[in-house]
Amino acid sequence: MGFLEGDEARAWARRPLEERRDAVLGCFARYFGPKALQPREYGERDWMAEELTRGCYGAHFTPGVWTAYGPALREPVGRIHWAGAECSPVWNGYMEGAVRSGEDTARAVLAAAGG
């Protein structure tokens, strides 16, 4: 599994699938040897074309959002608590952050419920 990111992603997204596939498999072959040129399957996903994300693999705020609105990011609203990778102060935007945030929020919900 690999990523095409930033300028490379923008450039390769405009190229034909066959060309992209050859380049990707060629890259894998440089790392893992010629067998990588004959995969059983080849799949790819263009996250820039996703309607709701418009890119990936992480979400980044524009400049000023953290400093202006950071404290409001995880603040519960009544009984509604927020959890997720983007709520985590550690490993923000990653699996580790998602799990930590889930655990922290579960503890906060239990504490709020008196448990």
Ligand X SMILES: Cc1cc2nc3c(=O)[nH]c(=O)nc-3n(C[C@H](O)[C@H](O)[C@H](O)COP(=O)(O)OP(=O)(O)OC[C@H]3O[C@@H](n4cnc5c(N)ncnc54)[C@H](O)[C@@H]3O)c2cc1C
By CB under 6 A, residue 56 contacts ligand X: yes
By CB under 6 A, residue 55 contacts ligand X: no
Main-chain dihedrals φ then ψ at residue 77, nearest 5 degrees? -115, 100
By CB under 6 A, residue 85 contacts ligand X: yes
* 3-state SS assignment for residue 90: coil
The DSSP code for 5 is -
Residue 29 or 56: which CB sits closer to ligand X? Answer: 56
Residue 57 or 69: which CB sits closer to ligand X? Answer: 57
- What is the token pair recorded at 110? 């239990």
Residue 13 or 37: which CB sits closer to ligand X? Answer: 13
Footprint of ligand X on residues 23-52 (CB under 6 A)?
A: 47
Which 3-state string (H, E, C) describes 27-84?
HHHHHHCHHHHCCCCCCCCCHHHCCCCCCCCCCCCCCCHHHHHHHHCCCCECCECCCC
Which stretch, 16-24, 71-79, 87-95, 107-115, contacts ligand X (CB under 6 A)? Answer: 87-95
By CB under 6 A, residue 95 contacts ligand X: yes
Site residues for ligand X per CB under 6 A = 47, 56-57, 84-85, 93-96, 98
